[in-house]
Amino acid sequence: MGRAPLVPGPRRWPSPNPWPAPRLAIPERAATAVAAGARIHWPRTLLSKGPDRLRREHLARVPQGADAAALHLIALDHSGSMRHGGRLAAAKAYAARLVHEATRAGAQVALLLLGGQGVQWLQGAAPARRAAIAPLSRVGGGGGTPLAEGLLEAQRSLHAHRRRHGGARHTLWLLTDGRSLEQPERPAAADRVVIVDFDDRTRPLGRCRVWAQHWGAELRQPPTP
């Protein structure tokens, strides 16, 4: 029998803070399953893996004939509170990893910024490209978190994308420390909502957990240092 083709391992994401980027190393025992099956759907695999070491049961594959218009809308909180403890740098590294894996999966990505200058699009919905990672690294932090306004804008974008690509799957990723008193509703146009909680681990407020419970969303923790 021939040797199974090598499966790409994790890439390193430079960061000035002690928070590591999400890890996507593939165990050797899973390599044969990957080689024999369809392409890996990395955003869904990352979602299934969470903070754990990647196992075979985490692997999600791209079905034959899957709609390449599947959209991952990443809403990044870059408010002033995110600058503390390296949380913003960690969140940007996490977002960059999502863009990277969406590129490999052939999905679309949109990047929405929530910060002191209001709600801004870093990139509208478009096929994922690694070129979108460089602008992420230049995003600074400051001001408050316009959460309600940001989620309303996300809802508009998801709804518009659904009109153009009715069969596409829409995932909203909210990367935040939860330092907002607003209590917006879940964007109904999202098939799946994932909140990645960058709250202060020593003195957490726990708002991300409350939002996740209220929205029926999935709550994820970034990798520990």
Single pTM value for the model: 0.71
Q: Is 117 helix (H, G, I), strand (E, B) or coil?
A: coil
* Confidence at residue 53, expressed as pLDDT on a 0 to 100 scale: 85
125: which residues sit within 8 A by CB, 6+ positions away? 71, 73, 108, 109, 110, 157, 161
Average pLDDT over residues 197-210: 92
* Confidence at residue 62, expressed as pLDDT on a 0 to 100 scale: 61
Which tops the pLDDT comparison, 164 or 211?
A: 211
Average pLDDT over residues 156-168: 89
* Confidence at residue 50, expressed as pLDDT on a 0 to 100 scale: 83
pLDDT bin (cut points 50, 70, 90) of residue 42 is confident
- Domain 71-220 top-level CATH class: alpha beta
Average pLDDT over residues 178-206: 92
What would the pLDDT profile of 12-21 be if each residue is shown by its tens digit? 444 444 444 4
* Strand ranges, E, within 62-206: 71-77, 108-115, 118-127, 170-176, 192-197
Report the percent of the chain where pLDDT is more than 70. 78
Residue 102's closest CA among 124, 127, 67, 122? 127
Strand order in the sheet with 170-176: 118-127, 108-115, 71-77, 170-176, 192-197, 218-220
* Confidence at residue 51, expressed as pLDDT on a 0 to 100 scale: 83
pLDDT averaged over every residue in the chain = 82
What would the pLDDT profile of 102-146 be if each residue is shown by its tens digit? 998 889 999 999 999 999 999 999 999 988 899 998 999 999 999
In the chain, where the domains are located? 71-220
* Confidence at residue 141, expressed as pLDDT on a 0 to 100 scale: 94
How many C-alpha atoms does 223 have within 13 Å on its Cβ side? 19
